[in-house]
Structure 1
Amino acid sequence: MVYFSTFFVSLFITLVLIPILTKLALRKHIVDEPGPRKVHTLPMPKLGGLAIATGTLFPIIIWTDFVAEIKGLVSGLVIIVVLGLLDDFYELRYREKFIGQFVATFVAIFLSRIYVTQLGSLGELNLILPLWIALPLTVVFIVGATNAINLADGLDGLAAGISLLSFGCIAYLAYISGEMPIFISSLAIIGAILGFLRFNTYPATIFMGDTGSQFLGFSAGWLSLALTQKETNPLSHVLPVIILGFPILDTLAVMLERFSQGRPIFIADKNHFHHKLLRIGFSHKEAVIIIYFLQCLLITFALIFRYYPEGFLFGGYLLFCLIVLCFFYIAERTHWVLRRSVNMDKDLAFATLSSSTKDKINKGVFKIISFIIPILLLFLSLIPRQIPKDMGIISLLLLTIILVVYTTKREVWLRFFIRLNLYIAGIFLIYLVNKEKIIWFQINMYYLQIIIFSLLMVLIAICVKFSEPEYFQMTPLDYLIIFMIFIILLISHLPRKQIAMDNLSIFLAETMVFFWGVELILSHKFGKWNALSVSTLIVLFITGIRGLF
């Protein structure tokens, strides 16, 4: 239950803080102004990183054992957060940023005594570094990872999505290695990132700022290093480079390009890979999805070959880098621009339907979805044999909050808390049902719910196809979750000893379908009293009472 509590509390804190910090940033003018190298055209609040940091550190401090690597992590992150806030408020020069990053790294190393002492084996030669080489190499890697994620933060949801994949990989590797402090810390960061992506996925309403990007970069570099440098852990020592593979490649490529052209390597430009994808003709959303996919390839490679020799893994990474660099080089040399077909749907059968027919189909299917989601939620709240007491208390607390919000006239706050409570209840109940596999009246509820969710997915697909674009669109976050499901499906069929992941992909898929259904309903006109809002209150009451009694 500690694992779920860590994830849930992190997600909840981040979701609650972001609207508050958005208003604060706009009022105090803590915003990222549009500029020649920036994609956005309006000032954007940039305090999202503070929500990520708070959502992460709170559960880590409460539930994580303060072993050496966690002491180093938390101490370094506190310095990084202060540094990031100073940068978001006053826009520090790169020299001042480097000083702060070096201080954070040295403090973390001093408290944990973790260094890059092992580089693995080269044939029969085991490469173990002396301290005078290990110390500077550790500092270079951590500072490099911190800046790599920072520089990747150029499109909505890009840095957060890449980081989500990296921390998902770190969490899995930590779990199978028995490194629970690293696993719990990664879970906390994953929860915070998911909460942030709810507001940062294209089109974003808030940026993470330097506080968030440096926080994620430092955390990813430190945790991956702490995990793979333990003598008792058989994981390949080159894994940290692959886990952060795409941001590292992007950073090195853009700096080498600046150096070759005689320009300062730390002065920002528009030559990052995401900028080049936009110049080729890909849309903002498409560029983000492509980079997600490339990072997914590296994460999958790292997970499958995690115990392989360092030379094999590093060689595979170099091949990946070569292919990516060659693609962009050829695209620039040939001035290749993506050409799109204007009438892509003209041969499809549904394109021949009249507008009135499409509207009738859309309204009919939407009514069915609006009926299924509340009934499904009630169904899920009754299936589990037992609701944990923690969840019971949380449910009653959320019920109290939402009843207070109901007495106000603010529909925006009502919509926000309905969505928040549905997310929390949906995640928890779907998790419990998948975990227990209960049988009612000789019917396996596990298979019944798979059938229901499959039907719901088909109905949502039909409704989305016939809906107006402003009601519902697939976001890069949706594609990111789909990529993660495929990765989990793949690695769940690999030989393993310590973890059963057969149900994790089902859990993620069902959660995503549930979220799509909720978002589809909430995207239409929303009143105080409807089937969704009433079912939310009933489900919170049921889980609260069942949890306490």
Structure 2
Amino acid sequence: MAALALVCGTGAVLLGLDVARLLPLILALAALTLLGFLDDVRPLGRVTRLILQTVCCAIAVAGLPSITGQSGPGALVWIERIAMTLALVANVNFVSFVDGIDEITVAHAGPGLAAAALSCLVAPIAAEASLAAAAGLGALLGFWVWNRHPARIVLGHAGSLPVGLLLAWLALAMAASGFWAAGLLITLYPVVEAGLTLLRRLRAGAPLARPHRDHAYQRAVDTGIPTRQVAATVALVASAAAVLALIDLVTDNNLVNVAALAIGLAWIVFPIIGWLRRAGIAAPDGRSA
């Protein structure tokens, strides 16, 4: 995160970009990194953690343009800002949920950040967003050297929370430029993986806040699939989604948007179903389905 902030600030000055547009994001990332670090060292209460995450995400939203074109002091502006903040909070936690084995966050976030970094070259996306994505990608790849299985360093909350914020912020920046499908595609894997796991746990009546190994990728590792193979599969499906996002950015066609999102969703769900079937589709907490 320190590298990301340094590259964003220096890069914006050297390239003549609007530093003020990136400042809320950098402040939010720094605050969320500190919050995650404190939570790693001495776990915070769930309510306290959620409130502080919301504050950090609200700061980041201040640097985003309107998605619906709302402006001024009206109630609709506040509704949109609240919705954007909640979307960031959700994705922050989704990415944290999915950070359960070595390399997996690099595997799913790296391709999305790469697509976002290239976005300003193929579509009218703010160059500041592409700079933030490129800085995030470089920092993540540098971390990957230490996170390769067996990992010598793991992200923890201090790393996974800001990665989730950066991905979601970039997705909203794309949506604000009219490319909502591309925004969804760059963060689709953690949303689908975490969302399906939460739904399975709700259906089984398992406590959502209790630590578990019910994610499909964790089940895959538990059945004997090598960690690196699981991470490589995640990287493959996330890369396919990133390519679809770039196609959406280039074509800017509603039919292509829907088709790309549908293909990306099917591509991501396919290995998840395969891993769960291999594990016998046991219900959460080990009970038979």
* Cα contact 2:114–2:137 (8 A) shared by 1: yes
Between Structure 1 and Structure 2, how many residues are aligned? 268
Aligned to 2:214: 271
Corresponding letter in the other structure for 2:129: I
Aligned to 2:90: 144
Please give the per-residue CA displacement for 1:382-414, whole angstroms capped at 9, x wherever unaligned.
xxxxxxxxxxxxxxxxxxxxxxxxxxxxxxxxx
TM-score after normalising by structure 2: 0.83
Q: 1:137 to 1:312 in 2, by over 3 A?
A: farther
Distance, in Å, in 2 between the alignment partners of 1:177 and 1:289 is: 29
Structure 2 unpaired stretches of 5+: 70-74, 283-289
Distance, in Å, in 2 between the alignment partners of 1:207 and 1:321 is: 24
Distance, in Å, in 1 between the alignment partners of 2:173 and 2:134 is: 16
TM-score after normalising by structure 1: 0.46
Q: Whose helix proportion is higher, 1 or 2?
A: 2
Q: 1:205 to 1:113 in 2, by over 3 A?
A: closer
Structure 1 unpaired stretches of 5+: 1-52, 119-128, 336-549
Alpha-carbon deviation of 1:246?
Answer: 0.9
| RMSD of equivalent CA atoms | 2.4
Please give the per-residue CA displacement for 1:59-96, whole angstroms capped at 9, x wherever unaligned.
21222134554122112112212211211221223322
Choose from 143, 150, 157 the match for 1:210.
157
| 1:160 matches 2:111 | no
Q: 1:296 to 1:103 in 2, by over 3 A?
A: same
Aligned to 1:255: 198
Aligned to 1:327: 274
Q: 1:240 to 1:227 in 2, by over 3 A?
A: closer
Corresponding letter in the other structure for 2:85: V
Corresponding letter in the other structure for 1:327: G
State the secondary structure of the residue aligned to 2:180: coil
* Cα contact 2:219–2:276 (8 A) shared by 1: no
Choose from 101, 117, 129 the match for 1:182.
129
Q: 1:198 to 1:141 in 2, by over 3 A?
A: same
Q: Structure 2 matches for 1:396-407, cutoff 5 A?
A: none
Choose from 16, 20, 24 the match for 1:72.
24
Corresponding letter in the other structure for 2:7: P
| 1:308 matches 2:256 | no
Alpha-carbon deviation of 1:316?
Answer: 3.0
Q: 1:218 to 1:305 in 2, by over 3 A?
A: same
**Higher RCO (C-alpha under 8 Å, 6+ residues apart):** 2
Aligned to 2:170: 223
Choose from 37, 50, 62 the match for 2:10.
62
Distance, in Å, in 1 between the alignment partners of 2:276 and 2:43 is: 33
Please give the per-residue CA displacement for 1:189-248, whole angstroms capped at 9, x wherever unaligned.
122111111111111111122111111110111122123303xxxx52122221111111
Higher Cα Rg, which structure: 1
* Cα contact 2:149–2:228 (8 A) shared by 1: yes
Aligned to 2:65: 114
Choose from 179, 183, 188 the match for 1:245.
188
